[in-house]
Amino acid sequence: MFFLTVTFQCSPTSKLAFPTVVFCHIYCRTGEYIRFNECTRGVTVMIVATVHANYHLLQQAVTPPLEANLYTVDMDDIDIITEELRKTIIKSFHAETLHVNQLTTHSAVLQWSPVLTAEGDFYELRYNSVSEADTMTRRILPGDSSSVRLIDLQPDTVYTASLQPESNQRPFNALSVTFTTLPDISSPAVVTVSDSGPHQMRVNWGPLQPELTQRHKVEYGVFPSGSVQVVTLHRRKKSVLLTGLEAGTEYLITVSAVHEDGRERAMSVRAYTTEVLPALVELQLTPAENQEVQIVWTALREEGLKGFWLKWDRKSSKSSSSNSYSSSIYLSPSTRSMRLRDVRPGGRVCVSPVYSSGQGDGVCCTANNHTG
């Protein structure tokens, strides 16, 4: 929709014997001489009279309100109204447009400039999805309304809407608009935990939908009744490292995607931090018969203990070109001592506890000191 500038000469019987500029919508015919009454049906008529004339006749021809659409000014002073006239034309243009605002997955707000003034005037609104043209929704709106909210729409769907002003005073053209609702939020669809340690864990989620999501929110706390901590993140973030956690503890973690309209989609997981695995309390080496070494150790905790790894530096055999090499053996959790014959003098002997959640720190001694 746009405006034309039309110059016409009035008939001799009219009292407008001067050139008059009329701003009309495109609905006017442009290929022939335009009579005034042919340009007043369903359009906005703006008149700029550049000489003194029959003001009463101009009032009858112009589209209300008069103060916005009727100007009388000397041609030498036309610059006085140029800016005001430009704003009026733009405003009139927007008055003939149906706007879509606050678009979401399931709703939309239609807005328009009010054009009805008489009592009993009303708007007839019709809308439907393009794919279901035979399913039309019809609503009657008061004449003083300028917006309406459409609800219960389908996500990612093309809709068309038409607004018809109804008045006994004058006809109005229908306003129409086509719009597409936003896709539904599918994130977070997957939430995982990685890099878990005694006091931290990384939470990951996806897929990202930054065009639909306002922000992400991560809530976590000790399961089942710990206090809840909240971290708010940018909509393009897809992971966060949670720190300051308790070791060997189960946490409930909830990741939420907050939609532009305030709705949320959330997914929860439960995950454990790793234990702080205790090392051995003591490791002792003492000489024994036949050049053997007696190894004795003490574990700090019996709960969850699965066994021990024993590693030592061995003497090289006569056939070996190497001076020494290492050996290892896995021992049962009840074992607390071991005799080794082939420990290299000055070599290291190490014992590490193995728990259900991993291997604890070991203790090492040198064979020539025979002490832990």
Given this model, what pLDDT does residue 72 score?
76
- State pLDDT tens for residues 37-86: 444 444 567 777 766 666 777 777 777 777 767 777 776 777 776 777 76
- Is residue 209 domain-resident? yes
* pLDDT over 60 (residue 315): yes
β partners of residue 268? 254
Shared domain check, 135 and 64: no
Which of the residue ranges 10-19, 76-85, 137-146 has the most confident prediction, judged by mean pLDDT?
Answer: 137-146
Do 268 and 321 have their domain in common? Answer: no
- For residue 372, being part of any structural domain is answered with no
Find the range with the poorest average confidence among 26-30, 60-64, 88-92, 136-140.
Answer: 26-30
Q: Which one of 93, 109, 140 terminates a domain?
A: 93
Q: Residue 293: pLDDT above 60?
A: yes
Q: Residue 350 sits in a domain of what CATH number?
A: 2.60.40.10
Question: What is the pLDDT at residue 96?
Answer: 63
Decide if 49 is inside a domain.
yes
* Residue 292 domain flag: yes
Place of tokens 């369903």: 42
pLDDT over 70 (residue 12): no
231 in the same domain as 268: yes
Tokens describing residue 304: 């969850």
Domain count, the chain: 4
CA distance 196 to 198: 7
DSSP output for 168-215: SSS--PPEEEEEEPPPPP---SEEEEES--SSEEEEEEE---TTTEEE
In the numeric block, which tokens belong to residue 163? 């607004």
Chain-centroid distance, C-alpha 129: 25
Same domain, 286 and 362: yes
| Range from 24-33, 84-93, 288-297 carrying the lowest mean pLDDT | 24-33
Q: What is the pLDDT of residue 139?
A: 95
List residues bridging with 305 in a β-sheet.
355
Q: What's the pLDDT at 2?
A: 32
Q: Which domain holds residue 341?
A: 280-366
Q: Which of 246, 272, 298 is the last residue of a domain?
A: 272
Which residues are CB-neighbours of 256 under 8 A, at least 6 positions away? 188, 216, 217, 218, 219, 264, 265, 266
Residue 252 CA to its chain's centroid (Å): 23
Contacts of 303 (CB under 8 A, 6+ apart): none
Give the Cα separation of 344 and 49 in Å (integer): 115
Q: What percent of the chain has pLDDT over 90?
A: 36
- The pLDDT of residue 17: 33
Whether 15 has a pLDDT exceeding 70, the answer reads no
242-255: pLDDT as tens digits: 999 998 899 999 99
Query: Prior bond to 188 cis, omega within 30?
Result: yes
Residue 195 backbone dihedrals phi, psi, to 5 degrees: 50, 40
In this model, does residue 199 exceed pLDDT 80?
A: yes
In the chain, pLDDT over 70 holds for what percent of residues?
78
Q: Is the confidence at residue 294, as pLDDT, over 80?
A: yes
What is the rounded average pLDDT for all residues in the chain? 79
Average the pLDDT over 97-102 and give the result.
87
Better-predicted residue by pLDDT, 359 or 267 = 267
The answer to whether the beta carbons of residues 150 and 161 sit under 8 Å apart is: yes
Three-state SS string across 31-82, please? CCCCCHHHHCCCCCCEEEECCCCCHHHHHHHCCCCHHHHEEECCHHHCHHHH
Q: What is the pLDDT of residue 8?
A: 38
- pLDDT band at residue 1 using 50, 70 and 90 as cut-offs: very low
Angle, CA of 293, 296 and 299, to the nearest 5°: 155
Q: How confident is the model at residue 150 (pLDDT cuts 50, 70, 90)?
A: very high
Q: Is residue 311 in a domain?
A: yes
How much is the pLDDT for 182? 83
More confident residue, 229 or 21: 229
Residues 138 and 126 sit within 8 Å (Cβ to Cβ): yes
Same domain, 168 and 217: no
User: Looking at the structure, do residues 295 and 355 belong to the same domain, yes or no?
Assistant: yes
Q: What is the pTM of this model?
A: 0.44
Do 295 and 342 share a domain, yes or no? yes
Counting DSSP H helices and E strands in the chain, the numbers are: 3, 26
pLDDT tens track for 327-353: 999 999 999 999 988 888 888 999 999
